[in-house]
Amino acid sequence: MFSGLFAKRPTGPDATTIEHEALKEALKGGACVLVDVREPHEYSAGHIPGAVNHPLSRFDAKHLPSGKPVVLVCKSGGRSSTALRQALASGRQDVCHYPGGTLGWHARGGEVVKK
């Protein structure tokens, strides 16, 4: 079902998350699409490079990109977890979320860009 990116994911309750180093590697290699589910003003104030904005307030899993695994991110993991549940309920299996959010990404030295 998944290759590369999700082949390294844990199983069980943590199967829908991705760790910092795995996300960093996936983004570097173009192995996933990063979807930021924060509101546009939050996204513009600072987001992970390469992320596309798809706000939770208008979230529809049918509009998630296809062709590559999708990683959902928000500020600290709450909204991306909600979006993940919606995506899984809609039948998407190629989706996970980064529970650290942009705050965790930045705290671990990850770049954040402003739009």
Residues 6+ apart with CB under 8 A from 67: none
The vertex-114 CA angle with 109 and 115, nearest 5°, equals 150
Note the pLDDT tens digit of each residue in 17-66: 999 999 999 999 999 999 999 999 999 999 999 999 999 999 999 999 99
* Active-site pick, 74, 83, 87, 96: 74
Residues 6+ apart with CB under 8 A from 50: 27, 34
16 has a pLDDT exceeding 60: yes
22: domain range? 6-107
**pLDDT score of 5:** 54
- Cα 37 from chain centroid (whole Å): 8
CATH number at residue 92: 3.40.250.10
Radius of gyration of the chain (CA): 13
Residue 69 lies in a domain: yes
pTM: 0.89
| Mean pLDDT score across all residues of the chain | 90
The vertex-13 CA angle with 82 and 63, nearest 5°, equals 35
100 has a pLDDT exceeding 90: yes
**pLDDT score of 115:** 81
Using an 8 Å Cβ cutoff, are 80 and 37 in contact? yes
Residue 64 lies in a domain: yes
14 pLDDT band, cuts 50/70/90, is low
The arithmetic mean of pLDDT across residues 65-82, rounded, is 97
Active site residue 32: no
CA distance 101 to 64: 18
Residue 114 lies in a domain: no
Place of tokens 């309920």: 89
Q: How many domains does the chain have?
A: 1
Residue 63 lies in a domain: yes
- Cα 76 from chain centroid (whole Å): 11
Q: Is the dihedral angle over the CA atoms 91, 94, 98, 102 positive or is it negative? A: negative
Residue 112 lies in a domain: no
Residue 1 lies in a domain: no
Residue 115 lies in a domain: no
